Amino acid sequence: MMEKAIVLAACAIGAGISMLGGIGPGIGEGYAVGKACEAIGRQPESKGEVTTTMLMGCAVAETTGLYSLIIGLLLIFVAPITFLNRL
Amino acid sequence: MSVDITGAEILFRLPLGIVITETQVNMWIVMLVIAMLCKYLTSNLKIKPEGKRQVIAEYIVNLANKFIKDNMGPGFKNFPPFIAALFSISLFSSLLGLLGMYPPTADLNTTLGWAVVVFILILYYKFKTNGFGGYFKGLMEPLPILAPFNLIGEFSTPISMAIRLFGNISTGVVISALVYAALAWLSGVVFQWLPGTLANIPYLQLGLPAILSLYFDIFSSVLQSFVFCMLTILYISQASTKE
């Protein structure tokens, strides 16, 4: 019983820690959007191109956050079952 | 409160251990829809366009040609059909989530398959421009000791492309399921005082999931399909310039 509790607790804590990876893309995307706003403010006529490039860059920067989210989901939904079966 | 989040369900099993999952059946539906749309748009073509259909078809073809020409330069005349096919199948299969069906792109097998196709194309163009020996020589730069890292960098291209698309779409599916379950529980608590079966209706599921769906299903699908195609274009045009 104790082992099961430890496995479940470790999975939940690990999922929580893995979501710390969400900080990076948040900062990065905010910085990118800020710079895009500056660029649009300086040259309002280039709004369309700047927005497209920014969205593209944001989607790429988001990937690392998604990796950590996938790890978190695996720890919540997949890992407990596999680990508990092995006990 | 119960949350059930599953991958693609196995619909039926064929002999020899072949398994037909929801992903494949939904992909067949998407392929059928795209084929019928193409047939509908391109039937009865005239030299001077008469109806709206031909105008729309010409607009799409021109858009694809212009997109490739702007981003890859001249010399890639045979690329618009491939990129347009990739974009349309990716977009339609992601948008299937709007109908409440399982989007095929929420399965890693689908996206990894596309990424492997793109990776083979990239390798083909690298071999074509640098030659077989030149490619392996390029891996040894700047120092021969760094060759393993260059090799990892090479193979991380398809993996990151596949996981980017898969992660975005499957995240949408998972978060929508979680929000639905949470709202069902919350409305069960709030509307407990209603008599009989009226209390069992999840009233709070109205409204909020629509906004989430607007972001995860429409915005995210379109953007990720675009990003997948854009990265394909960038990698291929990068591979076909001589170092």
Mean pLDDT across the stretch B127-133? 86
**Length of chain A, please?**
87
Q: Which chain A residues contact residue B71 at CB under 8 A?
A: none
**Min Cα separation A15/chain B (Å):** 15
pLDDT, position B171: 84
CB contact under 8 A, A56 and B160: no
Look at chain B and report how many structural domains it folds into: 1
Q: Which residue carries 């599953």 as its tokens?
A: B6
- Percent of chain B having pLDDT more than 90? 16
At residue B189, does pLDDT exceed 90?
no
Mean pLDDT across the stretch B23-30? 91
Q: Chain A within 8 Å of B171 (Cβ-Cβ)?
A: yes
**Min Cα separation B216/chain A (Å):** 13
Mean pLDDT across the stretch B15-34? 89
pLDDT, position B36: 93
> Which residue ranges form the domains of chain A, and what is each CATH number?
2-86 (1.20.20.10)
Query: Could you tell me how many CB contacts below 8 A there are between chain A and chain B?
Result: 32
Q: How confident is the model at residue B243 (pLDDT cuts 50, 70, 90)?
A: low
- Residue B100 maps to a domain: no
Long-range contacts of B107-111 (CB under 8 A, 24+ apart): B107/B7, B107/B8, B107/B21, B107/B23, B107/B166, B107/B170, B108/B162, B108/B163, B108/B166, B109/B23, B110/B23, B110/B27, B110/B166, B111/B161, B111/B162, B111/B163, B111/B165, B111/B166
Q: Pick the residue from chain A with its C-alpha nearest to B226.
A: A56
Q: Which pLDDT tens digit goes with each residue over A7-51? A: 899 999 999 999 998 899 999 999 999 999 999 999 999 888 888
- Residue B102 maps to a domain: no
- Residue B57 maps to a domain: yes
How much is the CA Rg of chain A, to the nearest whole Å?
A: 20
Q: Chain A within 8 Å of B33 (Cβ-Cβ)?
A: no
- Residue B3 maps to a domain: no
- Residue B1 maps to a domain: no
Q: Pick the residue from chain B with its C-alpha nearest to A66.
A: B167
Q: Which of residues 172-201 of B touch A (CB under 8 A)?
A: 174
- Residue B99 maps to a domain: no
pLDDT, position B2: 64
Q: Which chain A residues contact residue B167 at CB under 8 A?
A: 63, 66-67, 69-70
CB contact under 8 A, B167 and A56: no
- Residue B220 maps to a domain: yes
Q: So what's the ipTM on this one?
A: 0.71
- Residue B4 maps to a domain: no
Q: Which pLDDT tens digit goes with each residue over B65-122? A: 988 888 887 778 888 899 999 999 999 998 888 887 888 888 888 999 999 999 999 9
CB contact under 8 A, B223 and A63: no
Structural domain containing residue B227? 10-92+107-239
